Amino acid sequence: MHTSNILFSPDRFSELLYEKLQQVNAGVGDLAPYEFRYGLDNLCPGEGGWASVVPDGRAAVEAQVNRREFYAGIQLKPRVAGQIVLDEAIARLTRMLFVGLVTGEYPSEWISAHFSFDLRGFYFLHRTRYLTQEAAAHLGGVPFRVFEPQQRRFDRCDAIGYKDFEAANVEVDGAFIQSIVRLIASRGTPILLAIAGPTAAGKTEIVARLHGVLTAGGRTAAAIEMDNFLTDRDYREEHGIGSLGRAAIHFELFRSSLGEIMAGRAITTPRYDFISATSSHDLDGYLKPGCTPLEIAPADIVFVEGNFPFLIPEIAGQIGIKVVYLTDDAIRLKRKWKRDIDLRKKYDFNYLRNRFFREQFLMAQACYQPQLAVCDLYVDTTGAALWATPEIAGILGVDC
C-alpha cells in the first residue's frame, strides 16, 4: 500500500507506526498492538484523520523546537469540556512526527537525534541541550571522569523508582562524593555547597547521601533547600519563566540567611508547601498567619540545593563549591511519572505533560546553561560523566 493511502487507513497507519516507532523507543514493542492503538487514538486528528496532517520540513521543525517563543506559547491548563488537555502545539508536533515517521519524511535516526518518545505520556519531547560550547570550555573541554552509562537500562521503562535510579548512577555518584570530600578538605569549613539541578534529577537524594558521608567523617552538616524560598506557584506562573531569579524567591531573605548561617548563627527560613504550592511567607517576606517557618542551625557544611542557587551573581559569590547535577529530560520524566503521579498524586496527567514539555527548554536556557558556565563540578548521570574546571581537576588529581 502506498504511504499516501496508508494515511487514509487508521488500522494500517497504526500497524506501521507501531513497527517504526520501536526504532525510536524499543519499549513500544512491549505493548500489544491494540494497547498501542489505545494511546494513538487519543491523538488521532478529527476531520480528515491522519491524512489531514501535513508534516513541516525537517529544518522548519528543528527551528521551531529551538525557539524560546514556541515553548513560551505552550498553555499549562488548556481545557476542553472542563478537562485539562494536551496543548495543541504539542499535539500537532507529535502528530507530525508520527506521520513523518510512517511516510519516511522523518527518518527514525533524525527523530531520535532531536526527540525522545515518552511511552507513558505518549508524546515526543525535544532533546534539550544543556552543555553549551562555552560551558564545555569552562569545564576543560572533556569530562574529568567517565564511566559506563548505566541509565540505558531504562530505555524500555515507562516509570522509574529511586532505588533503580540510584543503582544506575552508582559509579558517577561515588566519584562525585569522593571529589566533594576532597574539595572540602582542601578549602576548609564552614563552606556553602550549592547543588543545582532540575526536577527529578536526584538533587535531594544526593545531598542526603553526601550528608551521611560527611557527618560519618566527623563534620556537621545542614541543608537549605532553595525551593523553600519560592513564592507561591500561582504568582510565579502568572509572571512566567522570566521570573526566575530574584522575583521567583524571597530574595532578601535568602541572601541574608546565607550570610547569617556562614557567620555561625542559626536562621529561620520560609517553608514551601509542595501540595498547595504556597509559601509560608507573603511577598513582603512576612510569615503568614497559621504558618510555621523552618529553623536551621549553623554547621561545617551547609548544602544549598535547588534549581538556581548560583544563578544570581550576588548569591554566587557566597557559594564555596558550585555543582550542577543533571539527568536527561527523558529519564527525569520517567521519574516524575513514578514519584509525582503514582505516589504523590501531585499533578493532573495532562498538566504534567504540558508543564514538563514547556519548562525544560526554557529552564535550560534561563537557568542551567548559565550555571554550567560558572560551576566547579558538573555531574552528568545519564552520560555517567564527571566534569570539573581545570582548577578543580588540579585539586582533585587524576586518582580521584
Q: What is the pLDDT of residue 244?
A: 67
What local confidence, expressed as pLDDT, does residue 161 receive?
A: 97
- CB neighbour list of residue 394: distance below 8 Å, 6 or more residues apart: none
Domain boundaries, the chain: 3-126, 133-396
Q: Check: CB of residue 284 under 8 Å from CB of residue 294.
A: no
Digit-by-digit pLDDT tens for the chain (400 residues) are 456 689 999 999 999 999 999 999 999 999 999 999 999 999 999 888 999 999 999 999 999 999 999 999 999 999 999 999 999 999 999 999 999 999 999 999 999 999 999 999 999 999 999 999 999 999 999 999 999 999 999 999 999 999 999 999 999 999 999 999 999 999 999 999 999 999 999 998 999 999 999 999 999 999 998 889 999 988 888 876 555 678 889 999 999 999 999 999 999 999 999 889 999 999 889 999 999 999 999 999 999 988 889 999 989 999 999 999 999 999 999 999 999 999 999 899 999 999 999 999 999 999 999 999 999 999 999 999 999 999 999 999 865 4
pLDDT given for residue 399 in this prediction:
55
392 burial (CB, 10 Å; 0-12 / 13-18 / 19+) is buried
Q: Grid coordinates standing for 24?
A: 525510536
CATH 3.40.50.300 assigned to domain 133-396? The reply is: yes
Report the C-alpha gap between 237 and 84 in whole angstroms.
16
What does pTM read for this prediction? 0.90
